[in-house]
Amino acid sequence: MFNENGAMRILSSIIFCCLVFLVCSEVSNAQSFVEYPNHRSTFDTHELNSSWDGGPTDVTVTFTSDGETAHEDGVGSSQRTARNTQNFVAPAGAGNPQNLDDTLVVNNYGPRLPIIQQMSANGTSVLTYAFAAPLGDSIDLIITDVDNSDDVSVKAYDAGNNLLDMSQWALIAEGDLSNFKDTQNDFSDIKAPTPTTTFGVDQISLTAVDDTNYNRSYSIFRSSVDQQLSRIEITFIGQQNSPARDLPNTGSHIYVAVSTASTIP
């Protein structure tokens, strides 16, 4: 018996796959990202292995723990960074769910998204990008997975350690990294809600819209070309701890990427 709903879903998936294929085949301006070569999951305060090949200057990336937040079993800090690069693999659709298939992201940043996990658990941590020379050109800052009561703030400084006016930055795109997601029980096309974003003179604030853990939202910010950017600080306040070192991913976390400015206007 012909199932009209099923046929429509198949047709929609085919159309989506074709669009993603066309988009990816036209990618010519994959951006230069801050990379984290050979960086392993590392807990407590540390400097990350980082490089920026093709970037305008060298960069030093550090993670600052609050020094107080431990796993629920009391053994070791539950705050960490971990490398988590996402790769697009065509075709995308309900038959091939993946963590990265958003056409805007793939088209403007390429089929590979090198993100770093910033885990605060139920405490506060700070991820810092310090540039060897002040940046006169804009860069893009991508923050993903702000959900489940997460609270994030972004501040930036010049070489004299003066706080830059964050109201001059722009939110150039937001959405869901994954249009189809394998939930292990079924394929989901539910859209992850983007966080509430507020621009102030002293910081940009991102706040999760509800307590649901969607995992996939993204927000892309562009720095001002009129500023001499020397340092970015991402402060993340989480709400959920992890029970033990062997179950770290249950703690509240976000993901961050920094790249040269894309062609998104």
Note the pLDDT of residue 208: 93
Note the pLDDT of residue 187: 67
Model pTM? 0.88
Note the pLDDT of residue 212: 74
pLDDT under 70 in the chain at which residues?
1-29, 182-187, 215, 248
Distance CA 102, CA 251 (A): 26
Note the pLDDT of residue 182: 66
Note the pLDDT of residue 16: 44
Note the pLDDT of residue 67: 96
Note the pLDDT of residue 85: 95
In contact, 31 and 110? CB cutoff 8 Å: yes
| Residue with tokens 């006169």, as numbered in its chain | 136
Note the pLDDT of residue 197: 98
Note the pLDDT of residue 6: 46
In sequence order, the 6+-apart residues with CB closer than 8 A to the CB of 222 are 138, 139, 140, 141, 169, 170, 172, 261, 264
Note the pLDDT of residue 53: 96
Q: What is the pLDDT of residues 87-134, one digit of tens each?
A: 999 988 888 888 899 999 999 999 999 999 999 999 999 999 999 999
